[in-house]
C-alpha cells in the first residue's frame, strides 16, 4: 500500500471542499471494507483519503414525504434490520441481509456499497500484471474473454469486458426506481440509481457517471405498495457470504392473481444492475402461473451472450426470476 494523507471532515461541504482541493488522487472512504482491499492490491492508489464517517446526520433512516431516505453512511445492517423496511420493502432488506457477512454489514455503508468494483478475478488478481484487464488498465486487453469465465456476465457485455457488477443492494434499488442525492463542487443534484452505472463498451475502466469529487449523501426510494409484494432472491455457491451467481429483485402489483405492475432487476449476470423490461412485459395483464413466471424469466435472457463456462447462467437466471415472482406474489396471501 502506498502512503496517503487521511482526514475526517465533519460536514459534507468540508468533505467535498477537501476533495476539490486534493484533486485527482483523492477518494472518499466510508466503511473501508472494499477500498482498503483494493489499495492493498494496488488497484486503487489514492494519495488522499477523506473519511466521511464523522459527517453528522449522514446515517439517518427516515421517511421524507413520499420517499424513504437512507443516509449514505447508514450501515448495511442498520437498513437491513429496520423493522419498517423489512415489513414494507422486503426486497431492500433481503438484498442487504444476503450480502457479505454480519461483520462486514456492520462496517459497510449503503453509500459505499453502490461504488464497489467488480470481483472479476482477472481484475483483482492481476495486480502484478500477469493477466491483462481493460478495467484495471485501459487498453491492456481482457483475459476473462476466452478464459475462466464461469462468474462473468452474460448481459451488457462488450468485446472489451464481461465483468459482473457485484452489488446486491443496487439491483434492489434499480428495481424500486431509487435515486441518489449527490453533493459536488458544482452543488447538489439527484440521479436515478440506474444511471449511476455505465455499460463497459470500449471504455470499461469508466464505471460510474459521478463527476469528480461528487459525494453520495443519501439514497431515496419512492414509497409504493409494490414494496410489500417483493423479494430479493439470490443464488450463490454457498448459502452465505458469497456473491450472486444469479439474483432477481422483484416487486409486484397484483389484482387477485393478475399482474398489474412488475419491476424486475437482475444481479450476478450483467455488467451493471440490470432492469429487465422484457420480463416485466411478459407478465403485465396476465394471471401469474409458474409457466408464465418461467416465460418471463426466459424473456430476460433473450439477448444473453454467454462465454465458454457460464451458459448455465441463462437457465439458472430464468429460474431465479420465476422463483422470485412466485415468492413475491405469495407475500400477498399471508
Ligand atoms: C469478503 C467480502 C464479501 C462480500 N460479499 C458481498 C456480497 O455478497 N454482496 C454485496 O453486495 N457486497 C459484498 N461485499 C462488498 C461489501 O458490501 C462492500 O465492501 C461494502 O458495501 C462497501 O461499503 P463501504 O462503506 O465499506 O465502502 P468503502 O470501502 O469505504 O468505499 C467503497 C467505494 O465507495 C466510495 N465511497 C464511499 N462512500 C462514499 C460516499 N458517501 N460518496 C462517494 N463515494 C463514496 C469510496 O471512494 C470507494 O470507491 C463483500 C465484501 C467482502 C470484503
Task: Report pLDDT for 334.
Answer: 58
Task: Report pLDDT for 125.
Answer: 82
- Domains located in the chain, CATH noted: 5-54 (3.30.43.10), 226-329 (3.30.390.50)
Give the CA distances from residue 67 to residues 64, 70, 183, in Å, rounded to whole numbers and listed in that order. 5, 10, 19
In this structure, which residue's CA is closest to atom 4 in ligand 1? 100
Q: Which of 180, 316, 162 is nearest to 246 (CA)?
A: 316
Best residue among 116, 170, 237 to mutate for probing ligand 1, ranked by most atoms within 8 Å of CB: 116
Q: Which position has the grid cell 491492456?
A: 140
**45 in Cβ contact with 36 (< 8 Å):** no
Give the CA distances from residue 19 to residues 23, 28, 80, 197, 304, in Å, rounded to whole numbers and listed in that order. 6, 8, 30, 22, 40
Q: Which position has the grid cell 491483462?
A: 132
> 100 CA distance to ligand 1 centroid (A)?
10
* Gap between the Cα atoms of 29 and 48, Å rounded: 10
pLDDT per residue over 102-131, tens digit each? 999 999 999 999 999 999 999 998 656 689
Task: Report pLDDT for 2.
Answer: 85
pLDDT per residue over 258-299, tens digit each? 999 999 999 999 999 999 999 999 999 999 999 999 999 999
> 72 CA distance to ligand 1 centroid (A)?
11
Task: Report pLDDT for 106.
Answer: 98
pLDDT per residue over 312-327, tens digit each? 999 999 999 999 999 9
Task: Report pLDDT for 128.
Answer: 66
Residues of the chain with pLDDT under 70: 126-129, 334
Task: Report pLDDT for 76.
Answer: 98
Ligand 1 interacting residues, C-beta cut-off 6 A: 27-35, 52, 72, 76, 99-100, 104, 107-109, 111-113, 115-116, 166-169, 215-216, 243
Sheet containing 246-255: order of strands: 230-235, 246-255, 258-267, 274-275
**173 in Cβ contact with 267 (< 8 Å):** no
Amino acid at each position: 500500500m502506498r502512503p496517503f494523507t487521511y482526514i475526517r471532515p465533519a460536514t459534507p461541504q468540508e468533505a467535498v471542499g477537501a476533495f476539490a482541493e486534493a484533486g485527482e488522487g483523492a477518494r472518499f472512504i466510508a466503511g473501508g471494507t472494499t477500498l482498503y482491499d483494493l489499495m492493498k492490491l494496488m488497484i486503487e492508489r489514492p494519495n488522499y483519503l477523506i473519511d466521511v464517517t464523522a459527517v453528522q446526520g449522514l446515517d439517518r433512516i427516515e421517511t421524507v414525504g413520499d420517499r424513504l431516505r437512507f443516509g449514505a453512511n447508514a450501515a448495511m445492517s442498520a437498513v437491513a434490520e429496520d423493522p419498517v423496511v423489512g415489513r414494507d420493502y422486503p426486497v431492500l432488506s433481503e438484498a442487504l441481509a444476503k450480502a457479505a457477512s454480519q461483520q462486514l454489514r456492520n462496517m459497510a455503508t449503503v453509500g459505499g456499497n453502490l461504488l464497489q468494483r467488480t470481483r472479476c478475478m482477472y481484475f483483482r488478481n492481476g495486480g502484478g500484471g500477469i493477466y491483462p484487464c481493460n478495467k484495471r488498465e485501459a487498453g491492456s486487453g481482457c483475459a476473462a474473454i476466452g478464459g475462466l469465465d464461469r462468474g462473468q456476465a452474460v448481459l451488457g457485455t462488450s468485446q472489451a469486458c464481461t465483468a459482473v457488477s457485484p452489488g446486491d443492494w443496487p439491483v434492489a434499488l434499480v428495481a424500486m426506481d431509487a435515486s441518489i442525492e449527490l453533493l459536488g463542487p458544482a452543488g447538489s443534484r439527484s440521479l436515478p440509481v440506474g444511471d449511476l452505472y455505465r455499460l463497459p463498451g470500449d471504455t470499461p475502466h469508466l464505471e460510474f457517471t459521478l463527476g469528480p469529487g461528487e459525494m453520495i449523501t443519501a439514497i431515496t426510494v419512492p414509497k409504493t405498495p409494490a414494496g410489500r409484494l417483493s423479494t430479493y432472491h439470490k443464488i450463490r455457491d454457498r448459502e452465505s457470504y458469497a456473491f450472486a451467481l444469479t439474483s432477481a429483485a422483484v416487486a409486484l402489483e397484483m389484482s387477485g392473481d393478475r399482474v398489474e405492475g412488475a419491476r424486475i432487476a437482475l444481479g450476478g449476470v450483467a455488467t451493471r444492475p440490470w432492469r429487465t423490461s422484457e420480463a416485466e412485459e411478459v407478465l403485465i395483464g396476465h394471471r401469474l402461473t409458474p409457466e408464465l413466471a418461467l416465460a418471463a424469466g426466459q424473456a430476460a435472457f433473450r439477448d444473453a451472450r454467454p462465454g465458454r463456462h457460464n451458459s448455465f447462467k441463462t437457465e439458472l437466471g430464468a429460474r431465479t426470476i420465476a422463483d422470485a415472482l412466485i415468492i413475491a406474489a405469495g407475500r400477498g396471501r399471508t
